[in-house]
Amino acid sequence: MKIAMLARNPNLYSHRRLVEEAEARGHEIQIINTLRVYMNITSHRPEIRYGGDILPKFDAVIPRIGASITFYGLAVLRQFEMMGVWPLNESVAIGRSRDKLRSLQLLSREGVGLPVTGFAHNAHDTEDIMEMVGGAPLVIKLLEGTQGIGVILGETRSAAKSTIEAFRGAKQNILVQEFIKEAKGVDIRCLVIGGKVVGAMMRKGAADEFRSNLHRGGRAEAIKITSEERSTAARAAKCLGLNVAGVDILRSNHGPVIMEVNSSPGLEGIEKATDLNIAGKTIEFLEKHAKPNKTKTRGKG
């Protein structure tokens, strides 16, 4: 099987592991710098070009699109889809997951557990939206943030109000969420492949840090999750249409709640914490399901 991987840094642990497992199983895989791809968008004879050459026909594409290049990355992925190449995660599903507001609305519609979340435009609504999510402390999130960047804890009412007003002054769209105190700075990352949780780890934030992201100094260890947590993670991935997803869950007093669904989950933390071959499971899923012209959305928005 010929596999393309859309990724800018071939040296990242996740990308190296996927290449290792694909090659170990006899596949040919090429890492393609997403930003260096350009396209000929024409009827009947669309092309994908790279380094002056027309790319060969691939059987599957693994999108590892960074959050900072979502717009262009999804455009490239849609071109692959329109040319009949099977994507590990489809462009529409990735787009849903990257839009924090849209993803929460979709999860809410399906009844998946969520923290109480507010979203408003008018600064006059700040006081009411803070009350709506339970008051301070509360969490303020940039819609475009990732890896814990743009996530702020408003510990007091005045601090939260000042932060919200500052973001509004900078014309930034934000979400305001209840702070799940009982989670105590700990969350659970579930790795979902093909609708099943194949691994889970508990992440704990560094000292004096409420965010548990490993990129921010958090630490991880394997954990046995409950059947409710397993079901919640699988439902969240299915709701957004993701074949492969990292689903972040908080343990609240009213059951598991979804913090975020990541369409390009890192593999290093979970493979090292659980000693599981997540990269191998990913390639195995791709082998079983990759078929030409089987993209459900065929590049539609």
**For the domain that residue 187 is a member of, what is the CATH number?**
3.30.470.20
Q: Which domain holds residue 226?
A: 99-113+182-284
Q: In this structure, are strands 47-50 and 53-54 parallel, antiparallel, or unpaired?
A: antiparallel
Number of domains in the chain: 3
Same-domain pairing of 138 and 275: no
Same-domain pairing of 103 and 199: yes
Same-domain pairing of 212 and 109: yes
Same-domain pairing of 109 and 165: no
The pLDDT, as a whole number, for residue 208 is: 62
- Residue 79, domain CATH: 3.40.50.20
The pLDDT, as a whole number, for residue 145 is: 55
Q: Where is the domain boundary, 28, 63, 95? A: 95
The pLDDT, as a whole number, for residue 120 is: 81
Same-domain pairing of 104 and 212: yes
Q: Where is the domain boundary, 179, 199, 222? A: 179
Q: Where is the domain boundary, 159, 179, 199? A: 179
Same-domain pairing of 226 and 103: yes
Same-domain pairing of 140 and 202: no
CA distance 292 to 294: 5
Same-domain pairing of 105 and 218: yes
3-class DSSP assignment, residue 274: helix
Same-domain pairing of 200 and 104: yes
Would you say 163 and 189 are in contact if contact means Cβ atoms under 8 Å apart? no
Helices (H), 171-277: 227-240, 268-274
Same-domain pairing of 144 and 208: no
The pLDDT, as a whole number, for residue 210 is: 57
Task: Write down the number of H helices and E strands in the chain.
Answer: 9, 16
The pLDDT, as a whole number, for residue 173 is: 83
Query: Rounded to 5 degrees, what angle do the CA atoms 262, 267, 271 make?
Result: 130
- Residue 148, domain CATH: 3.30.1490.20
Show pLDDT as tens, one digit a residue, over the chain (301 residues): 999 999 999 999 999 999 999 999 999 999 999 999 999 998 888 899 999 999 999 999 999 999 899 999 999 999 999 999 999 999 999 999 999 899 999 999 999 999 999 998 777 788 898 999 999 899 998 876 555 577 899 999 999 988 888 888 888 888 899 999 888 889 999 999 999 999 999 998 666 655 555 555 578 899 999 999 999 999 999 999 999 999 999 999 989 999 999 999 999 999 999 999 999 999 999 999 998 877 776 444 4
Q: In this structure, are strands 174-178 and 117-118 parallel, antiparallel, or unpaired?
A: antiparallel
Query: Rounded to 5 degrees, what angle do the CA atoms 206, 207, 212 make?
Result: 30
